[in-house]
């Protein structure tokens, strides 16, 4: 197992180098750079710009820039942000943490909804409930996340008019933007936690929808396949109860691919939360990425790309390890 | 990520299709057996053996949901083709004064308000004012004049072309100025949302199909080469796929499309491109396809790797067929059923990706095209409270339908090709 792990990690090195080269190459497609815009400002002297360029090494050829950047990366230095003039790490740490919160909660929601729904659909195949789940999951797969977020925001506003008319409650039930309330700083630690959770619920639900839809459908198919197999009949013949057969004998093997999927879901959600973060003004990675891109803050862009790439690659390794851990048929030696 | 991984994942995800693809190889022999059996048994058992295509079609026809999905898609593509005729207004047509910004959907009156009897449908002109307290826009009908809805009106100021060939200025319906008919309301500039959704379909519905072809071409070429030649070429291509897969797709899409659409970028300069709408459209197609080919290449490679070892490939080689012939005549066709299904099922993904990019303003440019994602962008622009202009969310519904129907169609095709699911 350990040998396998080391081998896998070594295999990541060329992929990682290739990916960073590709990123750097793409970043060079930008015409001009951050300082090009500075040149147009009358109150910035050309010498200053020259000095700053030299400081960032932008006056050197591309491959030298790449090597310098990689060297810095090797010691954990992602460079300096042009715009906020602070280390890239500091610039992206908070957005990454915020996106991570969102990803974790949506992962929990994903499992909490999909597993019961998938099992129910498989056990009560072709029932009304199964068909409802099936239709909902088709819809969930077809709705773009950002559109769903917009619709939910509209629904919350309409709900407010209703609650205002009926109960005189003129507040939104869930906040539609941001991560904290205006009185956040005055809250107790537990209150802060609740406040963030309250803000997180809708965006993470939206992020989880397409995943839920896919998960439920595949789990249903897997369950149906296992429920029809010989060992289930054997179990039933031995007199094991229905619940135990369903949850212990059928669900366990059916759920294996999803356990393995956790590794790949985590970085996927960080990247995939994308447009929802934009619509709901969640201070996460994607808005940061878009701002950095439009202001040509190239090291922030590269930093975010590198971090998410590393997450993705390790996520894949993690999936394989998890798969080996939960599936006795797979052994890496 | 490694070869082992491919072989492990493939049967798990694509199990049934995997076998479906292999079936092509067995097909001729079973038919031959059947034929010889019939010859022995005499006319009693004579039964025409069905071709593979026929079987698939018959299976597909029984798939109700897929059929419905298919017909809705046909309808949607027809509306996109004839968008110019169906739309009462041009794609960017708006009036400066009096502006008709943020008009809610126009109410069509079917009955005569005086007598209460059915009459020719008509609309009223609308005046706009501000509520003195809430400062929201308030609209009021001007009931003095009725403007009947006219059918088949010529509007020389708004010509259009069908499929880029037939020029016309005939519109299905319209009303006389100064009244306006906004079936689905209007946006901040007073552009008709109904017309724009129709025109938007031209972009959003085709971009998925075109991007799939780009991805298909790259995936088939590189995956085919990797699987067939193996060795160093295989390693090289598969590492390349891994490199692409390692970078999060959304970010790669965003970076590529935002950088490439800058008119000063090196590529555009090299080819002397001015970024017109058509070119941003093509650019989006290429970027989408470029980011999406990896998965397909990987799958085709593993299909070919397994098919290469099958008897019929060895037989073809033994008969003296060249490597290229074996690849193109025997191996690639055996992946056909899988590829058709996979392509159909990746179109919705590309449609979603395009609307997402457009939503960020990174898709086809706004100048003389519209895309559903771009239209949804209007609903989140600064200073808009969605509860007062809910109709701006309408463009999301066709996205939902298009993606849903492509998914249904793809699922239907997959079941039809799958011999395990024959009904």
Quick check: helix, strand or coil at residue B93? coil
B346 inside 8 A of chain A by CB: no
Q: Is A143 on the interface with B (CB under 8 A)?
A: yes
The ipTM value here is 0.85
Average pLDDT of chain A?
82
pLDDT over 90 for what percent of chain B?
A: 10
Question: Where is average pLDDT lowest: B104-118, B234-248, B251-265, B330-344?
Answer: B251-265
Of A18, A27, A294, nearest to B239 by CB-CB distance is A18
- φ, ψ of residue B24 to 5 degrees: the values are -55, -35
Round to whole Å and give the CA distance between B400 and A82: 40
Q: What is the largest CA-CA distance in chain B?
A: 93
Q: Give the pLDDT confidence score for residue B253 in this predicted structure.
A: 82
Cβ(B99)–Cβ(B188) under 8 Å? no
Of B258, B385, B393, the CB nearest to A293: B258
What does the block give as tokens for A16?
């990682």
Residue with tokens 């009096």: B98
Flag the least confident range among A258-267, B130-139, B215-224. Answer: A258-267
Give kind and range of the element (H or E) at residue B115.
Answer: none
Angle, CA of A150, A156 and A158, to the nearest 5°: 105
> A-contacting residues of B 290-319, CB under 8 Å?
none
DSSP string, A164-200: HHHH---S-SS--S-SS-TTGGGS-HHHHHHHHHHHH
| Radius of gyration from C-alpha coordinates of chain B | 27
**A151 to B404: CB separation less than 8 angstroms, yes or no:** no
CB nearest A144 (choices: B251, B265, B355): B355
Q: Are A271 and A59 in contact (CB under 8 A)?
A: no
* Pairwise CA distance, residues A114 & A219, whole Å: 8
B387: nearest CB among A144, A157, A279: A157
Per-residue pLDDT at B75: 95
The answer to whether B138 contacts chain A (CB < 8 Å) is no
Contact by Cβ (8 Å): B194, B182: yes
**What is the predicted pLDDT for the residue at A289?**
87
Q: How confident is the model at residue B288 (pLDDT cuts 50, 70, 90)?
A: confident
| Nearest CB to A157 within list B264, B265, B386 | B386
pLDDT, tens digit, 9 for 90 and up, residues A255-265: 887 776 666 66
B376 and A312 in contact by Cβ < 8 A?
no
For residue B402, what is the nearest residue in chain A, using CA coordinates?
A142
Beta bridge partners of B342: none
CA distances to A225, A316, B228, B294, B295 from B6, in Å? 23, 13, 16, 13, 11
Shortest alpha-carbon distance between residue A12 and chain B (Å):
9
Name the residue with higher pLDDT: A119 or B177. Answer: A119
In whole angstroms, what is the distance from residue A208 CA to residue A81 CA?
A: 32
Å from A235 to nearest chain B CA? 24
Contacts of B102 (CB under 8 A, 6+ apart): B137, B185, B186, B187, B188, B190, B388, B389
What is the mean pLDDT of the segment spanning B12-17? Answer: 37
From chain A residues 274-303, the ones with a CB under 8 A of any chain B CB are 274-275, 278-279, 286, 289-290, 293-294, 301
Bigger pLDDT: B8 or B376? B376
In terms of Cα–Cα distance, which of B161, B360, B213 is closest to A146? B360
Contact between A266 and A107 under an 8 Å Cβ cutoff? The reply is: yes
Range B158-180 average pLDDT = 84
CB pairs < 8 Å spanning A and B:
147
For the cut 60, the answer to whether the pLDDT of residue B24 exceeds it is no
Q: A45 with A262: CB under 8 angstroms?
A: no
Chain A residue with the nearest C-alpha to that of B259: A30
Q: Is the pLDDT of residue A328 over 60?
A: yes
B355 CB within 8 Å of a chain A CB: yes
- Chain-chain contact of B2 with A29 (C-beta, under 8 angstroms): no
What is the C-alpha to C-alpha distance for residues B49 and B34, in angstroms, rounded to an integer? 8
* Partner-chain residue, chosen from A18, A308, A320, that has the shortest CB–CB distance to B248: A308
How confident is residue A218, by pLDDT bands cut at 50, 70 and 90? confident
Asked whether the predicted pLDDT for residue B10 surpasses 80, the reply is no
* A268 — pLDDT class (breaks 50, 70, 90): low
The pTM assigned to this predicted structure is 0.83
Two tokens at B346? 């990746």
Q: What pLDDT is attached to residue A160?
A: 87
Please determine, for residue B37, whether its predicted confidence score (pLDDT) is greater than 50.
Answer: no
Identify the DSSP state of B143: E
| Residue A226 confidence class, pLDDT cut points 50, 70, 90 | confident
Phi-psi label, residue A149: left if phi above 0, alpha if psi -120 to 50, beta otherwise: alpha
Q: How many angstroms away from the CA of B283 is the closest CA of chain A? A: 14
More confident call, A201 vs A63: A201
The answer, for A214 touching chain B at a CB cutoff of 8 Å, is no
CB contact under 8 A, B251 and A16: no
Q: Go through chain A and tell me how many residues it has.
A: 333
For residues A147 and A163, what is the distance between their CA atoms, to the nearest angstrom? 24
Q: What is the pLDDT of residue B423?
A: 62
Higher pLDDT, B305 or B374: B374
Beta bridge partners of residue B129, listed in sequence order: B138
Cα A301 from Cα B243, distance rounded (Å): 18
Instruction: Compute chain A's Rg from CA coordinates.
Output: 25
Closest approach of A186 to chain B, Cα-based (Å): 29
How many whole angstroms separate alpha carbon A199 and alpha carbon A286? Answer: 17
């Amino acid at each position: 197992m350990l040998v396998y792990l080391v081998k896998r990690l070594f295999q990541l090195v060329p992929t990682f180098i290739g990916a960073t080269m590709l990123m750097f190459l793409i970043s060079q497609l930008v015409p001009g750079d951050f300082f090009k815009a500075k040149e147009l400002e009358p109150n910035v002297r050309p010498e200053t710009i020259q000095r700053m360029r030299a400081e960032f090494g932008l006056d050197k050829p591309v491959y030298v820039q790449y090597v310098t950047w990689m060297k810095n990366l090797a010691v954990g230095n992602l460079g300096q942000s042009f715009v906020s003039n602070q280390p890239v790490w500091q610039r992206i740490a908070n957005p990454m943490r915020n996106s991570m919160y969102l990803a974790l909660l949506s992962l929990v929601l994903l499992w909490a909804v999909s597993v019961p729904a998938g099992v129910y659909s498989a056990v009560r195949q072709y029932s009304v409930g199964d068909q409802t789940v099936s239709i909902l999951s088709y819809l969930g797969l077809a709705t773009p996340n950002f559109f769903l977020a917009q619709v939910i925001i509209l629904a919350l506003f309409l709900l407010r008019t209703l609650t205002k008319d009926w109960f005189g409650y003129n507040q939104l039930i869930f906040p539609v933007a941001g991560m904290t309330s205006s009185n956040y700083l005055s809250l107790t630690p537990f209150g802060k936690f609740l406040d963030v959770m309250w803000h997180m619920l809708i965006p993470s639900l939206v992020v989880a929808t397409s995943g839920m839809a896919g998960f439920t459908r595949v789990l249903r198919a897997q369950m149906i396949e296992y429920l029809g197999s010989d060992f289930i009949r054997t179990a039933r013949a031995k007199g094991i109860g229905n619940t135990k057969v369903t949850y212990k004998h059928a669900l366990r093997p059916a759920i294996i691919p999803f356990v393995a999927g956790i590794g790949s879901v985590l970085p996927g959600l960080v990247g995939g939360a994308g447009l929802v973060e934009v619509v709901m003004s969640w201070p996460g990675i994607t808005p940061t990425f878009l701002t950095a891109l439009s202001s040509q803050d190239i090291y922030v862009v590269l930093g975010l790309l590198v971090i998410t790439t590393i997450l993705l690659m390790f996520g894949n390794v993690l999936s394989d390890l998890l798969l080996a851990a939960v599936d006795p048929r797979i052994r890496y030696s | 990520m490694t070869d082992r991984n491919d072989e492990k994942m493939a049967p798990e995800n694509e199990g049934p299709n995997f076998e479906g693809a292999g079936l092509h190889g067995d097909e001729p022999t079973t038919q031959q057996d059947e034929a010889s059996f019939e010859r022995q048994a005499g006319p009693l058992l004579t039964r025409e053996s069905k071709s593979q295509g026929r079987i698939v079609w018959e299976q597909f026809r029984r798939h109700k949901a897929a059929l419905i999905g298919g017909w809705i898609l046909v309808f949607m593509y027809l509306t996109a083709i004839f968008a110019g005729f169906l739309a009462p207004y041009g794609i960017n047509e708006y009036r400066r004064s009096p502006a008709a910004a943020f008009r809610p959907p126009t109410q069509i009156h079917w009955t005569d308000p005086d007598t209460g009897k059915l009459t020719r449908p008509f609309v009223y002109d609308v005046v706009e004012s501000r509520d003195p307290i809430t400062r929201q826009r308030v609209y009021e009908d001007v009931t003095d004049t009725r403007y009947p809805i006219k059918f088949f009106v010529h509007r020389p100021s708004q010509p259009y072309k069908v499929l880029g060939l037939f020029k016309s200025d005939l519109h299905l319906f319209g009303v006389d100025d100064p009244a306006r008919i906004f079936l689905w309301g209007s946006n901040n500039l007073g552009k008709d949302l109904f017309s724009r959704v129709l025109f938007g379909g031209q972009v959003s519905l085709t971009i998925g199909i075109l991007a799939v072809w780009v991805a298909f071409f790259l995936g088939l070429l590189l995956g085919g080469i990797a699987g067939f030649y193996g060795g160093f070429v295989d390693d090289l291509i598969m590492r390349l796929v891994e490199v692409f897969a390692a970078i999060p797709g959304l970010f790669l899409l965003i970076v590529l499309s935002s950088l490439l659409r800058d008119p000063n970028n090196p590529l555009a300069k090299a080819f002397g491109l001015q970024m017109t709408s058509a070119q941003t459209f093509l650019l989006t197609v290429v970027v989408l396809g470029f980011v999406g080919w990896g998965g397909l290449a990987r799958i085709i490679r593993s299909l070919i790797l397994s098919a290469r070892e099958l008897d019929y490939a060895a037989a073809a080689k033994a008969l003296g067929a060249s490597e290229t012939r074996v690849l193109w005549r025997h191996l690639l066709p055996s992946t056909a059923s899988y590829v058709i299904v996979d392509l159909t099922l990746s179109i919705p993904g590309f449609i979603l990706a395009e609307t997402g990019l457009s939503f960020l303003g990174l898709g086809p440019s706004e100048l003389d095209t519209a895309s559903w994602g771009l239209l949804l962008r209007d609903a989140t622009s600064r200073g808009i409270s969605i509860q007062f202009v809910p109709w701006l969310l309408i463009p999301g519904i066709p996205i939902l339908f298009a993606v849903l129907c492509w998914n249904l169609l793809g699922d239907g095709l997959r079941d039809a090709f799958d011999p395990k699911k024959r009904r």
